[in-house]
Structure 1
Amino acid sequence: QLVQWLQASGSDGALPDIVALGFQEVVDLNAVNVVVNSNPSAQRSAAWEEVLLTALNQHLAAGGAASPGRQYKILKERHLVGILLLVFVRLDHVDHVRDQDGATAGVGIMGMMGNKGGAAIRLTFYGSSLCFCCAHLAAHRENVTGRNADYQNILSKIEFGSRASSSYDGGSSECVTSSGLVGSSSVGILSHDFVFWLGDLNYRIQDDVAMDEVFRLSEGGPTHWAKLWAHDQLNIERRRGNVLKGFEEGPLQFAPTYKYQAGTSVYEKRPEKKLRAPAWCDRILWKARTPAHVELLAYNAVPALDLSDHKPVHAFF
């Protein structure tokens, strides 16, 4: 099942130079894991890293593309309680990667705990600076302002300790940080040539659509999904300029990715469970200093991967 998630590919079947994988809730978000004990998070993150590196390189071998230079290695890992971000790079590009760094920010309980937050990794790749941020934002259909605030809080908190050169500013020592400060030696998420924002952003369908209708449209196929787009909270908030301003996203040409019965492709409606309206909680967006330098080749969900009550998404650029 993992291979179906990892094999997102463009129309020419090219292998990606960089693979960034984001997870949420790799451990239970209970009080012990959030406040007291970080060991389960570190152990689970290490286990996922090993499994995914093996799966990536086995996928290459199965496709006949397993020459040593085309295999992947882990470049960097960052985790925060249940949030995990892994960045892999092909070995034939390793000598052209520098300035890698990572940071995390908790924005959950009391605005600081790691039950919600972000993990980010940045690097310079052949002279262009990239940043990946995996986020898990506030839950519940009505809590749009909480999600918007979490996004802004992650932006303001995550700063990297060293300056990455970029094709945009010539590698000067001065930068504009994510909080808008000029002259700092630190680097914010938005201070990169390319930014990719991914994760369980938790935006739902507006409650002006009845829950029964959301279920009906979600289960009805592509023509029905289109009727939900106008009611998607993330689309609405982006149009208003309240969140992810300047970011782009591909069309949502897949069924809402939440909430399923784990182990199935059936939305969760069992009477003993909390009823949640289906939604596109799981998203991948990007922002580029020069938009023409990014082309989205694929953006989809992976229904066959049923380990969770979410369906994972993948994108290929």
Structure 2
Amino acid sequence: MASRNAPVEASGAAPAVKSAVKMSEEHRRDATVLLENSKSFRRARAGRRRESLEIYCGTWNVGNKAPDVTCATEWLMKARGADVVALGAQEASYVKTKKTIKAKEVSAACGDETTFASRFKRRGFFRSTKWTRLGIMAGGAFAGGVLTFSPAGALCGTFTGWFTGKKLVQEIKGRIHWFDFLSSSLGDEFEMLQSEMLLQMRLAVFVKKDVASMVRSVKVGTKATGLGNLHGNKGGLLVHVELENGETIGFVSCHLAAHEKPKFLQARNVMVPEILRWVWRSAQPRVKFALPNVTDVNTTLYDGASEIMSKVSWTRRTVVGMTTEAIENTTGAKLGLKGVRAAQRNQAPELLDSTTHVFFMGDLNYRIDPGKVIGGEWDTHWSKESDLKPGSNADQPGAGGGIAAARPPAQPGMVEEESDDEGGEASPFVQGRDAVCKAIFNREFQRLAEADQLTRSRKEGRVMHGFAEQPLAFVPTFKRVTVKSSASKGRICSSGAEPMTDTSRPEPGTPAYYNTKRVPSWCDRVLWHSAPGASESCKPVEYGACHEVTTSDHAPVFARFRVRLRSLPEVRALPRANLSLTSLHVTRNFKDGEVLGGSVWVHVFVPHARITIPEPKDLSSAHVDRDESQPKTVGTYSFCADDLPTCILGYDEDEANAERRNKSQVEVKKLESDDDESDSERKLPERLDMSAYASFYAVITVVDSRTGTKLGTCAAPLPGSSTFSVPLSLYSERVGTITGAWTLHGGASNPPKTASLHERLFASRAT
């Protein structure tokens, strides 16, 4: 196995000794990364009091307008009964003025006896509008004068500094007000666990004070998918929480590409896997209950530096694979894999593979397709052109209309805008919008859900495969007509509704309630994903929208869940077992522009159940070539028993003995003097039988041999049966299927109840 799985070295490699040292360092680094991303389902600390948690997820596109008191009383106060509250916001950059509601006024409106007190400092350079502007103006004048050596340059720099300083101070004050508003609305029972910002996006996670002690660690990550796939006007945020029993919960808040036509739908479908991939790779540990860094100028004005660096590495690997394949296809010569194979390393599980529950929320911008509502056809009623010939099929309700929609798909970061024209009376868009409004008025939510773009994409496996969503049984949240804009224009909706006044607002769900330029849709959503074996522990409770909040053209959405905290078998109690694959067949579908994997290898890992950390070769298969008889769009790879890793769960006695022999005297003395460990914790638990392994699952990762790029992952349950067939996914998109067979055998007699000093040390480090 060692010789077969070792990476092939190119000519002119370093001497054997240096190479061995380098490989050893890489193995240790890979093992560290592997554990840091998969520490889940561990033994709970003593004194855990709760068996379940109630989680409240809320998302709202604020519309760059300051919230009012109804936002607190109608949306946020609903979360007070929960244990964990995650609140995502989009377009939450607004100007705080003297008329903006204050936190103490929110406390009074919510009926709190204790007046909220902000934790943010009131002093400092960035808190003062006057000194910040003067400082940035002086810096701009100096920079402009030095660069141009002219008074005109200094004047231009002064003006630029004044404008930048004004925007910077407004943004900082708006951020402070937003987080204070959330805290005062939830009350003094909650503490802000952690938060993250990306330009106009916000994500804050709160926990009750009696739950705070259950949190072991927190990670935070961001991903921008806006202009040039770098700018933060679109993207996602992550707050990842690890609880004391080892189970993990991830909250992802995002803002996806807007507009309705198929090219924008494609852009959204591309953004989702980008966000899921990079928010986890960029995640960094954060201090619990630390205040948001509202004065970070980079995240305030532009957040693209980290994105540029991540793109460089990703592009380099992709270009290598594409270039090699292009040469082989053009010349017909086989370049071979020697010298260009990527090193086989332990593959750290991705967010969905290593997290017990992931809650995905935000302004996803998926729309209701009016063509599907009218005639059962997709993408036929987006056109706002009204120059259709009389008597054509498009004039008839229920007809497809034949409106072509085969434009090139958009990519993350595109800024192309749709026309805001309302369309003529005979346009397919007006026909479709009126049909959608009628269905909403009649509360035909099931019919509308079948025409939802996200529901369709999930069923087809294009995006968010493996996620679940509660039934869409509430009035669509976008795009509502605001009172101010409607009153000023006096617009009459296509259904003939009367124009609104400042004191009259249409009933939610009526045709006059929605903007005539958009098809009403469920843009604001909350979905969740549970790891294999954990789906039954997350129960949806409630899903709805708060249409009483009227300051934005979006209505806030909330979802409530009840999560049961499981007690999985302790690692130390598992019997000594050996899990081995006997066969594996991978089918991978490739899209246009995607690099075809000519040769792949698989990495197998059982999260949370490793007893000893093996070398990477123990978890990696041999390289297997693609079946050339298959079409170019399909890659099939067949692994036999000799190609596959053995001892996946293995308890290697020689390795364990070597581990014991290498313990330093310092570690032994430290264990002997550890007063925090009780006598019961010093004893190894009773060994369980083999059925205990049914609580775990294996993550199988398919990796391209040339570039080391992941081609997909799957989660296969441990053998209740000897065979399995599971879908292959790539960041929530279904891309193929994996079938295989394996064996699980072993088991040892129960160890003595009182272990030796070395056994206690080894068991402590193993967990």
TM-score bracket for the superposition, by shorter chain length: 0.7 to 0.9
* Alignment match, 1:147: 268
C-alpha distance in 2, partners of 1:116/1:190?
25
Residue 525 of structure 2 aligns with an amino acid whose one-letter code is: R
Q: Distance in 2 between matches of 1:297 and 1:15?
A: 13
Distance 1:217 1:279 in 2: 12
Structure 1 residue aligned with 2:220: 102
Identify the residue that residue 66 of structure 1 maps to in structure 2. Answer: none
1:234 paired residue number? 454
Report whether the alignment pairs 1:112 with 2:230. yes
1:214 equivalenced with 2:436 (yes/no): yes
Q: CA offsets, 1:86-138, max 9 Å, x none?
A: 10011111111122121111101111211110011011123211110001000
For 2:553, the equivalent position in structure 1 comes to 309
Q: Does 1:5 align with 2:75?
A: yes
CA contact (8 A) 1:42 1:79 kept: no
Q: Return the alpha-carbon distance in structure 2 between the equivalents of residues 38 and 103 of structure 1.
A: 23
- Structure 1 consecutive aligned stretches of length 4 or more whose deviation exceeds 4 Å: 36-42, 184-187, 263-270
Say yes or no: does 1:21 pair with 2:87: yes
Q: CA deviation at 1:288?
A: 1.0
Distance 1:78 1:38 in 2: 18
Question: Which amino acid is the alignment partner of residue 250 of structure 1?
Answer: Q
C-alpha contact 2:508 2:547 (8 A) present in aligned 1: no
- Higher mean C-alpha deviation, range 203-212 or range 295-304: 203-212
Q: Does 1:203 align with 2:269?
A: no
Conserved in 1, the CA contact under 8 Å of 2:482 and 2:550?
A: yes
Whether 2:542 is the aligned partner of 1:298: answer yes
TM-score by length of structure 1 reads 0.79
CA distance in 2, matches of 1:203, 1:258: 10
Contact 1:131 1:192 in 2 (8 A): yes
Structure 1 counterpart of 2:470 = 250
**Match in the other structure for 2:480:** 260
Equivalenced residue count is 275
- 2:180 — aligned with what? 50
**Unpaired runs of at least 5, structure 2:** 1-69, 95-159, 287-313, 315-343, 374-431, 484-504, 562-767
Q: Distance in 1 between matches of 2:457 and 2:176?
A: 35
Residues 228 and 92 of structure 1: is their aligned pair in 2 closer, same or farther, counting only changes over 3 Å? Answer: same
Quick one: which of 146, 158, 161 aligns to 2:284? Answer: 161
User: Take 2:360 and 2:511, find their aligned partners in 1: how far apart are those partners?
Assistant: 30
Name the SS of the counterpart of 1:53 in structure 2.
helix
**For residue 529 of structure 2, what is the amino acid of its counterpart?**
K
| Change in CA separation of 1:217 and 1:301 when aligned onto 2, cut-off 3 Å | same
1:173: which partner in 2?
A: none
Alpha-carbon distance between aligned partners in 2 of 1:40 and 1:106, rounded to the nearest angstrom: 22
Structure 1 residue runs without a partner (length 5+): 59-70, 164-178
Aligned partners of 2:352 and 2:529 also within 8 Å? no
The amino acid across from 2:180 in the alignment is E
Partner of 2:741: none
For 2:508 and 2:81, locate their aligned partners in 1 and report how far apart those are by CA, in whole Å. 32
The 3 A distance-change label for structure 1 pair 162 and 297 is: same
Moved more, 194-203 or 118-127: 118-127
Q: Which has the larger radius of gyration?
A: 2
Q: Which amino acid aligns with 1:131?
A: G
CA distance in structure 2 between the partners assigned to 1:316 and 1:287 by the alignment: 14
Checking the alignment, whether the CA contact within 8 Å between 2:370 and 2:436 is kept in structure 1 is no
Query: Which one has a larger percent helix, Structure 1 or Structure 2?
Result: 2
Alignment of 1:56-205 (within 5 A): 56-57=186-187, 71-126=189-244, 127-142=246-261, 143-158=264-279, 159=281, 160-161=283-284, 183=346, 188=351, 191-205=354-368
**TM-score, normalised on structure 2?**
0.34
- Indicate the residue corresponding to 1:167 in structure 2: none
Change (3 A) 1:84 1:190: farther
